[in-house]
Structure 1
Amino acid sequence: MPLGRWVACLFLVAAALPGPAQARQICGKEVVAFDEMVVRIKADPGTEAAWISPAMMQIVDTKRLLIWTLAKPTGSQPAAYICRRIVQEGGAVTSIMTAECHGTQLGCDGIISRILAEQSRATAPFRQR
Structure 2
Amino acid sequence: MEQITYGASSGIFKTEKSTILKCPFPGSEADLRCEQQAYELLGRHSRIARYYGRFNHVGCELEYYQNGCIDKIAEALVYVHSKGIIHGDLRTPNILVTDSFDIVLADFASCCIDGLKVSTVTNTARYRPPS
TM-score by length of 2: 0.27
Q: Identify, as 1 or 2, the structure richer in strand.
A: 1
Q: Identify, as 1 or 2, the structure richer in helix.
A: 1
- RCO higher in structure (CA 8 A, sep ≥6): 2
TM-score by length of 1: 0.27
